[in-house]
Amino acid sequence: MTEKVVLVTGSAKRVGAQIIKTFHQQGFNCLIHCRHSIDEAEVLKQSLNKQRDNSVDVIQADLNQFEDIHQLAEQANQRFGRLDVLVNNASSFYPTPVGDAISPHHWQDLFSSNAQAPLFLSNALAPALKKSQGCIINLTDIHAENPLRHHTIYCMAKAALVMMTKSLAKELAPDIRVNAVSPGAILWPEQTLTQDAKDQVINEIALERMGSPEDIASTIYFLAQQAPYVTGQILAVDGGRSLGRHALA
């Protein structure tokens, strides 16, 4: 098959689903990965297959389990016969303030999704990506560099993903490019925030507004398809939030 193929982890909803839609609109065959959100994944699959028959499939896997990671890689290789782009998007996110909230369970959960799974999935799919001269794009976070209070484990895991991006860019060159997108405030977290907390976030953004899933998806597509001389880079898509606190006039 000649159509290019993208696998996006954690892509049944939110930003991941928009990444799938963006690549699909550009003619890619798409592999939606999910863990629990199988109903949402199937709805997205059916919607896109109505636009172009047999162009999208769903693979369910628990990225905390090494066996599932291997099965995901095998199915990704087999479904369309090739793989051109791997987007490591799946991520657990929640606070772990110092004290009882920092537990071995939380450490394992946050590191598994944010660092461990991207590494082992990239390793398993490297032969297929080398064959297609493809690329890996990781979703990091601006808080990998500037930590978010009460989120020590999460920030550590994303910092590990940043280093993985740079390290794999060296190790897999020249056959596979590896980059990352570092989002700022794109969607409010599923955990409830007060209006004051939301206002504080907006006040820290130079552009004084939230971003959108489309901002992230279009940047990922740019790195995958329109930046052939870019590798090992972490591109912040944050409206200027990482510049430091923005003082409103």
- The catalytic residue among 94, 154, 221, 229 is 154
6: nearest Cα among 59, 53, 43: 59
Q: Which amino acid is at 60?
A: Q
The pLDDT, as a whole number, for residue 185 is: 87
Mean pLDDT of 86-100: 93
Mean pLDDT of 180-205: 84
Residue 154 bears catalytic tag: yes
Q: How far apart are CA 152 and CA 143, in angstroms?
A: 10
The pLDDT, as a whole number, for residue 249 is: 45
- With a threshold of 0.85, does the pTM exceed it? yes
Q: How many CA atoms does the CB half-sphere of 221 hold within 13 Å? A: 19
Helix (H, G, I), strand (E, B) or coil at 31: strand
Per-residue DSSP letter, 115: I
Q: How far apart are CA 206 and CA 203, in angstroms?
A: 8
For residues 245 and 190, the answer to whether their CB atoms sit within 8 Å is no
Q: Which residue has the higher pLDDT, 206 or 33?
A: 33
Q: Which amino acid is at 81?
A: G
Mean pLDDT of 87-105: 91
Domains and CATH numbers, the chain: 5-243 (3.40.50.720)
The pLDDT, as a whole number, for residue 246 is: 57
Q: How far apart are CA 173 and CA 116, in angstroms?
A: 21
The radius of gyration of the chain's CA atoms, rounded to the nearest angstrom, is: 18
The pLDDT, as a whole number, for residue 194 is: 82
The pLDDT, as a whole number, for residue 94 is: 92
| Mean of all residue pLDDT scores within the chain | 93
Work out the pLDDT band at 190, boundaries 50, 70, 90. Answer: low
Work out the pLDDT band at 100, boundaries 50, 70, 90. Answer: confident
